[in-house]
Amino acid sequence: MADARGIDTNEIASVSLRWATYALPTYPRWELNELHNEAFIASVRLVEKGEYDSTRSKLITFLSHALPFAVRKRYRHMNGERRLVNEEGRQVYQRKEHFSNEILEQTEVRDIIILETKPSNEWAKARMAGFTATELRKRGMSFEEQKKAKEEFRNDQRKSKRQTR
């Protein structure tokens, strides 16, 4: 693979995987592969920006201190949190998107049609119930079967969108 400032990206990938495995409980809404992807991207960016100096520390030491800040920012952003000013004038992460049934109840529009997606295959039902890909694999559904089911579900969704247009 290509080098990022003289460091092999395979080494960056293995170090970021080690960090992601260790930090996974800190990011409960992400699976290991998602966390590893974000950690790898953040690691490459940090190294390419020149923030890593190989004379001062090893790569794993540098990334174990730098990755939590870089990945946490992406994690919060992807989960609807933004850095906003609170009542005290301090910048803190706050939820930006709010949803409440009270808003729907207070509206004067009574003819709101809410479309609920009803998954047609077992994979979609299990994923919507909160099962991860690894848990489904442990229950007997291989990654290849999950990939096929995912594609079938996406194709069904696309077909239903085309029919409603």
The pLDDT, as a whole number, for residue 1 is 41
| Nearest Cα to Cα of residue 29 among 69, 74, 62 | 74
Lowest mean pLDDT among 3-12, 17-26, 35-44, 55-64: 3-12
**Confidence grade of residue 19 (pLDDT, cut at 50, 70, 90):** very high
Structural contact between residues 83 and 93, judged by C-beta atoms closer than 8 angstroms:
yes
Q: Residues 3-31: what's their mean pLDDT? A: 85
**Confidence grade of residue 156 (pLDDT, cut at 50, 70, 90):** confident
Query: What does the pLDDT look like over 58-97, one tens digit per residue?
Result: 888 998 899 998 898 888 877 777 777 777 888 776 776 5
The pLDDT, as a whole number, for residue 109 is 52
| Nearest Cα to Cα of residue 12 among 55, 73, 58 | 58
Q: Residues 21-37: what's their mean pLDDT? A: 89
Domain boundaries, the chain: 3-81, 117-164
**Confidence grade of residue 20 (pLDDT, cut at 50, 70, 90):** very high
What is the residue-wise DSSP string for 26-75? G-TTS-HHHHHHHHHHHHHHHHHTT---TTTS-HHHHHHHHHHHHHHHHH
Q: Give 94's strand partners.
A: 82
DSSP state of 5: T
Count of alpha carbons within 13 Å of 1, Cβ hemisphere only? 12
The pLDDT, as a whole number, for residue 39 is 92
| Nearest Cα to Cα of residue 128 among 114, 117, 115 | 117
CB atoms within 10 A of CB 63: 23
Query: What does the pLDDT look like over 99-142, one tens digit per residue?
Result: 555 655 555 555 555 545 555 577 777 777 777 888 877 778 78
Instruction: Please enumerate in sequence order all residues whose Cβ is within 8 A of that of 85, keeping only pairs 6 or more positions apart, or say none.
Output: 91
The pLDDT, as a whole number, for residue 2 is 44
Q: Give 81's strand partners.
A: 95
